[in-house]
Amino acid sequence: MKKTTGIVLVLSVTLAAFTCFAQAVRIDSSGVGDKRVLIAIPDFAAAPGLESVGAEMAQVVAYDLEFTGLFRILPRASYPAAFTGFTPDVSRLDFEMWRPAKIAYLAYAYVYKEGENVIAQCRLYDAETGNPALGQQFTARADLSRLVAHRFSEEIVRSVDGVPGIASSTICYSGKVGAGKELFVSDYDGFNARQVTKHNSISIKPKMSPDGSRIAYLSYKDRYPFLYILDIASGKSTALSKNVGLNSAPSWSPDGRRLALTLSKDGNTEIYIKNSDGSGEQRLTRDRAGDTSPSFSPDGSQIAFVSDRAGSPQIYVMGADGSNVRRVSYQGGRAYDPVWSPDGKKIACCVESGGMQIYLLDVASGQSVQVTNTGGSNESPSWSADSRHVIYYSTRNRGLWAVNANYPYEQHPINAGGMQCEGPSWGPRRQ
């Protein structure tokens, strides 16, 4: 991918028709005023022949913004009666017309083609003053208009909230293929999925590297469960750990040079660190209890992990050198699968509570909150780059869901084309 000021050129995503939007589920919003920002996103203006592209891009932006939990989209039924659609001439925008709708912002774009590229001139307007809050032009191959829309929505979030959205990010996960399981990569919303392993085996528990270029995962492709690292661009898979016994739960360091993992080669499950090429193995924990599931803090100075040294599995934190071990989970119920938020403030984990549920632990206060309350199990949490969402696997549909990390904890099903999938890992925004 190449990027220049105001222009985005992306080379490896395919266009998929965005025909429906899954309804977000709120855990409990009773008695709480809706503080989301009201925004109108009519179909974008488009050159002749590109009307469907303009309409789809507006739908993608609307979904992205609603997904954040920060925005509420004005229904079309509430549009001004005199509004007949956007035109390429932005000087004809009538903000007085929109004032009865009481929107905070109006999103506008004009879409046209030059050669093989689609160009989108995107603007966000303060609906009260009519002043532009954002103006940016994006250029991409014609089949990448969805990604252009994702870029626009990220910039809208940045303009309004100060932190960009995650709409251009990708996720990876394990999907059922025949009798086996292979790894897939897709857009964050499940579109443009592509299979990235063809081992004809069982490959599970993927963890995407901080730069999004590699995936650490467990596979039975060489008969036994070993750890591997896949280079996504080349498709080349190299061994990370092929020790006797358990090889599991890889976690990338923030710089992508090392991984923490769980090994049992010394007779007990312990936390180790290795370089990403498999060299430099170093043992961190030395306790009679089982220690598993490490997760680096975003600054690389600490590691969260699971240990049953207190009698049942709970979440602990230690220095990245194995020092200063301390327990951080006290919510009741066994706790598993810790993963640190990118902003360093929270640790997501799974807790046995009427089935396995996702909890968020506040690192500073030690307080915890349950953010799923569905039947069955909700497992394998992974954070978005903006620390606003957690993606996870749920047995309710043998698929993926995302939950907003802030009250009222909206849940969004992730469309994976009906495929059974598990073990999601959320990658970074695309550069």
Q: Is residue 272 part of a domain?
A: yes
- pLDDT cut 90: percent of the chain above it: 88
Domain of 294, CATH number, reads 2.120.10.30
Using a cut of 0.85, tell me whether the model's pTM lies above it. Answer: yes
Q: Is residue 7 part of a domain?
A: yes
CB of 121 closer than 8 Å to CB of 137? yes
Task: Kindly state the tokens that stand for 276.
Answer: 């990403």
Q: Is residue 263 part of a domain?
A: yes
Domain extent, residue 402, equals: 170-426
Residue 3, pLDDT > 80, answer no
Does residue 104 share a domain with residue 189? no
Among residues 106, 136, 161, the one where a domain terminates is 161
Among residues 161, 182, 210, the one where a domain terminates is 161
Cα(25)–Cα(403) distance, rounded to whole angstroms? Answer: 9
- Using one digit for the tens of pLDDT, what is the confidence trace for 12-46? 332 233 223 334 443 333 335 789 999 999 999 99
Q: Is residue 6 part of a domain?
A: yes
- Using one digit for the tens of pLDDT, what is the confidence trace for 87-123? 999 999 999 999 999 999 999 999 999 999 999 999 9
- Using one digit for the tens of pLDDT, what is the confidence trace for 319-351? 999 999 999 999 999 999 999 999 999 999 999
Residue 418, pLDDT > 90, answer no
Among residues 138, 161, 184, the one where a domain terminates is 161
- Which neighbouring-strand residues pair with 413? 401
- Which neighbouring-strand residues pair with 114? 117
Higher pLDDT, 15 or 305: 305
The predicted structure's pLDDT at residue 32:
53
Task: Kindly state the tokens that stand for 24.
Answer: 């977000």
Does residue 224 share a domain with residue 102? no
Distance of CA 208 to the CA centre of its chain: 11
- Using one digit for the tens of pLDDT, what is the confidence trace for 138-182? 999 988 999 999 999 999 999 999 999 999 999 999 999 999 999
The predicted structure's pLDDT at residue 221:
98
How far is it between the farthest Cα atoms of the chain?
Answer: 75
Does residue 198 share a domain with residue 156? no
Instruction: Indicate the pairing of strand 105-114 with strand 37-40.
Output: parallel
Does residue 150 share a domain with residue 185? no
Does residue 305 share a domain with residue 389? yes
Does residue 223 share a domain with residue 202? yes
Does residue 211 share a domain with residue 137? no
Does residue 256 share a domain with residue 188? yes
SS3 of the chain: CEEECCEEECCCCCCCCCCCCCCCECCCCCCCCCCCEEEECCCCEECCCCHHHHHHHHHHHHHHHHHHCCEEECCHHHCCCCCCCCCCCHHHCCHHHHHHHCCCEEEEEEEEEECCEEEEEEEEEECCCCCEEEEEEEEEEHHHHHHHHHHHHHHHHHHHHCCCCCCCCEEEEEEEECCEEEEEEEECCCCCCEECCCCCCEEEEEEECCCCCEEEEEEEEECEEEEEEEECCCCCEEEEECCCCCEEEEEECCCCCEEEEEECCCCCCEEEEEECCCCCCEECCCCCCCEEEEEECCCCCEEEEEECCCCCCEEEEEECCCCCCEECCCCCCCEEEEEECCCCCEEEEEEECCCEEEEEEECCCCCEEECCCCCCCEEEEEECCCCCEEEEEECCCCEEEEEECCCCCCEEEECCCCCCEEEEEECCCCC
Q: Is residue 215 part of a domain?
A: yes
Give residue 244's pLDDT band: very low, low, confident or very high (50, 70, 90).
very high
Q: Is residue 175 part of a domain?
A: yes
Cα(399)–Cα(384) distance, rounded to whole angstroms? Answer: 17
How many domains does one find in the chain? 2
Q: Is residue 304 part of a domain?
A: yes
Does residue 249 share a domain with residue 149? no
Q: Is residue 431 part of a domain?
A: no
Does residue 111 share a domain with residue 240? no
Does residue 208 share a domain with residue 143? no
Does residue 215 share a domain with residue 155? no
Compute the average pLDDT of residues 46-73: 97
Domain of 154, CATH number, reads 3.40.50.10070
Label residue 392 exposed, middle or buried (CB < 10 Å: 0-12, 13-18, 19+). Answer: buried
